[in-house]
Chain A
Amino acid sequence: MPLHYVNSRKPALPVPVRAGEDGEAKVGWDEFLGWFGRRLGRILAQTEIVPGRVEEIRLRVNQPLLLRLAGEDVFLDRTGQPAPAEEAYRVELPDLAETMDRLTQSSLYAAAENLRQGFLTLPGGHRVGITGEAIMKQGSLQTIKHITGLNFRLAQDIRALGLDLLPHLISSERRLYHTLILSAPRAGKTTLLRALIRWLSNGVPELGLPGQAVGVVDERGELAGLWQGVPAYDLGCRTDVLDSCPKALGMGMLIRSMGPEVVAVDEVGHAEDVAAIAEALRSGVSILSTAHAGSLEEARCRPILRDLLAGGIFERAVLLSRRRGPGTVESVLDLARGQEVRPWARVANRKM
């Protein structure tokens, strides 16, 4: 059973506040630091780096404490100030142990499924990648012990994101084209997907787009950021979320049970995902999905994505990069015609 599991009790640690009035993401930084061990929390609390700039916080045993900002890596010393690597604070095993205790609420067994996947999801959709000693049983990963590294990836939620992209993803009948968002890691796929789900669910009167029932299979718990049943993100008023369920299983379940018009999933990449998407198409829903690939060419070189693209399943592809920061839209492609969507091409390369 995964850690973002069970009931609707109020989260044990506060959910970071997201999405400010100005459309910029605000991180409930102090609350977020509650997940770190005391010493690390103190260091991070003292840093003068604007929390909104932080994309990742990397903890590796006996290595310097590292913050990854957009296009820049910063090491922190004991006082939270940027420092050269050799003078930076070295993360120690007790720091990692204490942090893991807080992340799992001292319940490693409850996080077993997450450990098998190699990450935990926190309130707010933040993801913590885990490395350590893999314990194998009958050829499959049983768990990870002797944790040696943690990577906190801070999720973003920017309200206005995706709105200017939306007109190019809906048909004249106001139906969402089957859309695939492609990018390399850390380029904003999930953030854009989340924003599109919300727009589709709530509807956009300016575009004449009525709200649609959206079914979300949130296999990794990142889209809704559910923490013990409480969503950290607003995915819209017509959205049903199936949390921690494999995509291939969840898509069919949602279609049968909730009658969505759009089914959204994050990071397709397995053969069974392709089969499930093909099955979903037969029921007439629109598919909104993301996948790892730096370009369309790269996607076409990958067996699973190649099948998806060659099968003519998707009608639109949105290519993202980090060239001008996460969420830079490189192009929107009409896959049926094999060309860029014209209105978008004129303003291509803008950042969302």
Chain B
Amino acid sequence: MLILGAMGLIAAFGGIGLWLAARVRRRPEEIRVLLTALALLDTDIYWGATPLPEAFSGIADRVEDPWRNFFTEVKERIERGEAAWPAWKETIARLTGAFALKPEDWLIVLDIGKGLGRSDQQEQHKQLELAQKQLTLLREQAVVWAEKQAKMWAYLGFLVGCAGAIFLI
């Protein structure tokens, strides 16, 4: 019985560690998806002069959750009459929990929303290009960080589980 309990403890903590590791690994992936979304948005604005709700709708069709939810909600808010910036900001505030992004990532994402739709195509293109450069840099750092952190959480989970089991025995 005791052995079973110890094994359960190790499995539980190990599972938590693996879950945290997977969450950490999501961060660079979410940045990558955002980069794809911004590239699509840039193309839609620069070449198609596509209005934001329509552009967001197209992006939502082509990216995965949680960004799909994010762009769908911003689109719906703008269609209901909200301006782009409050819609962007409030959607971030509402959906932050669904992402693995860190506060410094959100600062860049917030910045993107500040100028959205408020200038001509050239200006929009410049702003989106700048955001993409910043995110690319951030993603490179995030990949390295995530690898280390993921290993740490995975090991830590099992180690805590083992320590608990030893203590129990």
Contact = CB atoms under 8 A, between A and B. Distances in A.
Contacts of A228: 54
A110 B119 contact: no
Interface in B31-77: 45, 48-54, 57
B132 interface: no
B124 to A, nearest CB: 6
Contacts of B57: 9
Nearest to B88: A106
A257 interface: no
Interface residues of B, number: 25
B79 A108 contact: no
Bin the interface of chain A by size: 20 to 34
A107 B45 CA distance: 9
B78, B79, B81, B116 — which one has the most chain A CB atoms within 10 A of its CB? B81
A105 B120 contact: no
A34 B81 contact: yes
Identify whether the interface residues of B are mostly helix, strand, loop, or mixed.
helix
Given A108-B117, A109-B124, A12 B83 contact: no
A50 interface: no
A3 B50 CA distance: 9
A101 B80 CA distance: 11
18 contacts: A6-B54, A9-B57, A12-B53, A13-B79, A34-B81, A38-B81, A101-B83, A102-B81, A105-B78, A105-B79, A106-B84, A106-B118, A107-B52, A108-B117, A108-B120, A109-B49, A109-B120, A112-B120
Interface of A: 1, 3, 5-7, 9, 12-13, 34, 38, 98, 101-102, 104-110, 112, 142-143, 228
